[in-house]
Structure 1
Amino acid sequence: MEKDKEEQVNLVNGKVYKQAGVSPKVSKARYIQRYRNRLAMANAFSNCSGKIWCFVNINIDVEVISDTVQQLTLRPFFQDLEKTMYTTLVYAKCDEAERVELWDNMYHLYNTITEAWMIGDDFNVVLNDEKNIGGIPIQPQNVEDFAFSVNSCELEEIRFKGSPFTWWNGRAGDDCIFQRLDRMFINAPLQDWFNSLEVEHLARTGSDHAPLLCTYGEIDQNQEEIVKIKEGRFEEEPSPINRCALQKAQTEMKKYLHYEKGYWRHKFGLDWFVEGDRNTKFFHTVVKRRRKNLQIRKIQNSEGDWIETEDQIAAEAISFYENSSLRRI
């Protein structure tokens, strides 16, 4: 019986170790499903090379759209939102010539995907001449190819927090190299989903790359959309199941609004004092929201009628104060 050399993966004390061995040819699907069971995930996917793994912790419909050596593109469908967010996971080659295939894959996906799209992870090349520690000088051609691909696909990089470097070569002294090889990008439709997105560079443990944690900001619009969808379904079919689904969505929205209220109270009370004088996007948004809430859209005149136009409101305000002044005299 012919035997092939395979890379075996062992999980010991929460860390992943790899060892070479000789064993009968076994499908890589067995390994990923084994880890899926250990991690109690709902589903798991891997690309054709077996080097990109994706675990899904919620039970949703996920379709594999594109599977190549350097990327895996999935299409999860979120039933509550009735929306799709394409997700492309990248593990690029170290060689410049081999990465050309990845840039071609990205451009093909860009011409195919019209909905929300997130792409990122290990591109194995820096995006610009940003500060790095150690290593050989950056080759302009490598940077230009990456930058051209990002611009051609009209992608926006998600801002990050944490260490400015995501990769370390594991050495010290003069041989030490720190670079930022891992990034996350989104297209315009996905930017409309959330008010803010942020990537956090977590601590490197068990790998020379830092894990990327993507978090979102306010999602109150999506919560409202869920309730509206459930309301529409209940109106079309007022069954006990749809009624229960609507009540659950309303409860979740009330819970979210409760937490949001406390969050903004804390923001206004503490952060405004600490950071209110800074020229930040967050506080500009807060000011705009306050101004919007303070706008007068209609008033009741002295005769009890409601008026809404700006000219009528202005005239009524002037008349009110003029009459008040005459009464004092």
Structure 2
Amino acid sequence: MTHTPLLPEHGGPDDGPAAAFDFSTNASPLGPPPALLAAVLRADRHAYPDPSYRALRRRLGDAELVLPTAGGAEGIRRLTLAALLAGRREVWVPQPGFGDYALAAQALGLAVKPYARPADIRPTAPAVVWICEPCNPTGDSIAAWPALDALVIVDRAYEPLRLEGAAPAMPPGAWQLICPNKALGLTGIRAGYAIASAADDVWAQALSLAPSWVLSSEGVAMLTHWLDDETQAWLADARATLRGWTAAQRAMLADLDWHQEASHTNFWLARPPRPDYALRLRERGIRVRDAGSFGLEGWVRVSAQPPTAQQALQQALLEIEGEDS
């Protein structure tokens, strides 16, 4: 018996020519901070990092609760397997939401339960609940989260890119998965970390499942400087710039009759006047993220990009309108 592989769909590079302007990525177009980048480039590539990452874990928080991961995707897969081995049987995932939550559960035979709002979450077996705050692909945020009878893991990859509003309080006992590379504009460095609420059975399983040297030297350098005051100040300035770029891009798309959803981040959902716009823009060297894989046919996810990219997008859209008139 053969099984059809479960393959995730992502934005970013595809197998076509490189896009001149990429509105599909939700990473910051402003990174990385110069001092952090210099540290990454100085990373010692001739020696293994400490396989237990003791100094790094102390720098990131309570060393007994910090778990280095090879980015968010590896963290999602490993924590899902750890939860299964610790007795969890259901996985609740945001809908729409990042597809890897469901794919990781399906690959292990766990029951996948989608939810649109916290009130939808009603576990019938020991469960994991994934929260993406703010959520990908919507950029939306839940005002308040109740206590949940489950292992709650909060994916905070986009928290540093929150352009408005404050982060809501999370359910008591929630884990956190932190992936700085998007906010730093260094998505090619696969490095992140989870923070457990307690050194429990899930923690023990996740620790034992980690591959040797899960982080490269570059990943260690990036995470070592993630919490530096200089890095955080740079990110605050980047958010101010992104607010201006987001407002300008939204206004431009509105003038061209795109419907746009509200968002707290530098990315948001939009509906073009016609469903073929994503393909026609790609033919012109501009990429947007088709949201069909999120179950949102006819929608795209776009991210705020610099003024030169916005001008190119506007020109391409005007050309498409001209062809259709």
TM-score w.r.t. length of structure 1: 0.25
Q: Which has the higher helix share?
A: 1
Q: Which has the higher strand share?
A: 1
TM-score w.r.t. length of structure 2: 0.26
> Looking at CA atoms only, which structure, 1 or 2, has the larger radius of gyration?
1
